[in-house]
Amino acid sequence: MTFPGDKTAVQWLVSVAPDPDACRWEWERNPLGTALLPAGRRWDVLITPGALGRPAFDVLTRLVERPGPVLGDFPATRRGRTVMSRLGFFVPPGTASRWVGTGVRGAGPGTWIVVPYPGRATGGVRWLVAPDGRGTLTDPAVLELALHEAAARTAAREDPLS
């Protein structure tokens, strides 16, 4: 299933590919429906473990009307449910090299990201928030607030005295 904004999202995504036609071909031919795209040109990606990323995503979506693109990696199944193991938040270029945070990995220049075609169901990696085609990215300061809030809530749930 595709959506009207998917065409501009695809154009925005493939604009960073060394060979945009090869990227489109990969999306069409790869059984997982994914392609590798270089980070660091139009975006960096901050990658969180699912245990932190899921609650941070919930906080983030309450803080802003629409965050930038967010990827979820769903390789695991527990008790019959599919569980996200990682989330990737698309942020402005340069963010990954300046980010200091425990458990958060940055993908910037020299790294590649597995990216599914927008609006299509794929294998393990899926868009939680697909690119809008206009280049909207998540503000790193707002993401940092969401991560702090998520970490505090998680710690409070794990604290036996609370």
Q: DSSP secondary structure string, 83-110?
A: E--EEEEEE-TTHHHH---TT-EEE-TT
4 band by pLDDT with thresholds 50, 70 and 90: very low
Phi-psi region of 138 (alpha: psi -120 to 50; beta: other; left: phi over 0): beta
Residues composing the chain: 162
3 band by pLDDT with thresholds 50, 70 and 90: very low
Q: What is the pTM of this model?
A: 0.87
